[in-house]
Amino acid sequence: MEKYDVIVVGGGPGGYVSALRAAKYGKKTALVESEFLGGTCLNKGCIPSKTLLRHSEIIEDIKKAQSWGINTGELSFSFDEMLQRKDSVIQKLRNGINHLIRSGEVALYNGKGNIKPNKEVEVHTEQEVKRIQGDKIIIATGGSPAIPAIEGLDTATYHTTDTIFDIDQIPSSIAIIGGGVIGVEMANLFSSLNTEVTIIEMEKRIISTEDEEASKVLLKNLKKKGINVLTKQKVASVYQSESKKTVFVSSSNGKETAIEVEQLLLAVGRKPNLSAVEQLDIKRKGPFIDVNEYLETSMQDVFAVGDVIGGLQLAHVASAEGLTAVENLDEKRKQMNYSHMPRCIYTQPEIASVGMTEKEVKDKGITYKVNKQPLSGNGKALAMGETEGFMKIITEEKYGEILGVVLAGAHVTEMISQSASYMQLEGTVDELAELTQPHPALSEGIMETANALIGKGIHTH
């Protein structure tokens, strides 16, 4: 039986990253993956969705440019070619990760991992079962789409966030159950492809875990695109006919509405993949694996990262967790810190945030200051024709510590790390205000907002 210093089970953004880092530290490392390297993010989620969302952005820009004197004639597009480009992007990144694993001296086992209590891992393939032994184990088995208990769903056809990119033609209409991050991104995408879109959300607003003002800006723009957004609504049942699905929706006051659509997408969250740990007696936190601040489970020398432990189920969070777990393999020297993790939503406009929301600050009873600057007066935003949105900074009142930043607008997902960097380095709003931003740039809004908070705003009152 081959023995390793570290065995990582799961080759997604938490798993393959931790395997490479462990190998760089000189540890004999094995990586077990049953499907493609890169996990859900690369193969079914982040990368395919962002590739297609880029297509939708181009389509919307072409439509917008008609009012600028740029006329291209009748707009047409090939969905087949869009899907081909999506697949080529995925394949290129898959090849890149495979190359990293090979050159990084990580032993790759293609098969389904099953972890034993003695830290032996069985790798099941169609042909055989291989057994390997590890001194340390990192569980990075990810998650899968949660399927809600809805009457009639078991007899209907539907897509999840893992299968939606397998479609081969654009639906005429689609109902998206769930108005969270993935739900609103998919609504944005299908709307640009001329699909009639309905979002059904149980909470009182979309992206309910994010800033309320950002939610309002996004809602306004989704409605402007013709997307039907139903909040405080619950799907009571689904009926499948030969070619259509009827979704019966009930509101909090008991009123029921029937919506007929061609396709149905479930986007209500993810559940952990626990098949690899069925034989382990490890503590759970709800459905997820429980870990301490060092990402170690209740079993000594067994760590867990990514969607399987819940929390912020984001690819870059899983990678950060994987790297942190590796730091703690031999001694507990680095606690996992989530306070400066950026959160991004790739709609139009984009939403990006870091730190606490204003509601969270209020709920904690912190005395704070807040300022919000609209993009409507920003020179670059005006030149781009992207004036929807704002930049908002929340600070602790006494010392000016930056507690949270919320950006809504074009390309803000590329800017949020600037604010996250200041927060991680314990910078104050005064220091952020002193940073000279290029002109013209959307990021000038951050400088203006910071200066307004300390009473030095130039273009603000």
Q: Which residues are catalytic, by number? A: 439
212 Cβ partners below 8 Å, 6+ apart?
205, 357, 358, 359
Q: How far apart are CA 75 and CA 91, in angstroms?
A: 29
For residue 354, what are the CA distances in angstroms to 46, 211, 213, 368, 379?
19, 10, 15, 16, 25
Bridge partner residues of 396 (DSSP): 368
24, 104 contact by CB (below 8 A): yes
162, 44 contact by CB (below 8 A): yes
Task: Determine the 3-state secondary structure of 355 from DSSP.
Answer: strand
Q: How far apart are CA 51 and CA 150, in angstroms?
A: 31
State the alpha helices, DSSP H only, in 211-349. 212-224, 315-327
Q: Show the beta-strand stretches assigned E in 84-224.
A: 107-110, 112-115, 120-124, 129-139, 143-145, 159-160, 173-177, 196-200
Q: Show the beta-strand stretches assigned E in 381-451.
A: 390-396, 402-409
Phi, psi of 120 (to 5 degrees): -90, 140
- Angle in degrees, 0-180, between the axes of helices 15-24 and 315-327, rounded to the nearest 10: 30
> Per the structure block, which two tokens stand in for 110?
């293609």
For residue 412, what are the CA distances in angstroms to 60, 123, 182, 280, 384?
18, 43, 17, 43, 14
| Polymer length of the chain | 461
| Helices vs. strands in the chain: H and E counts, helices first | 12, 24
For residue 325, what are the CA distances in angstroms to 258, 292, 314, 344?
48, 11, 16, 24
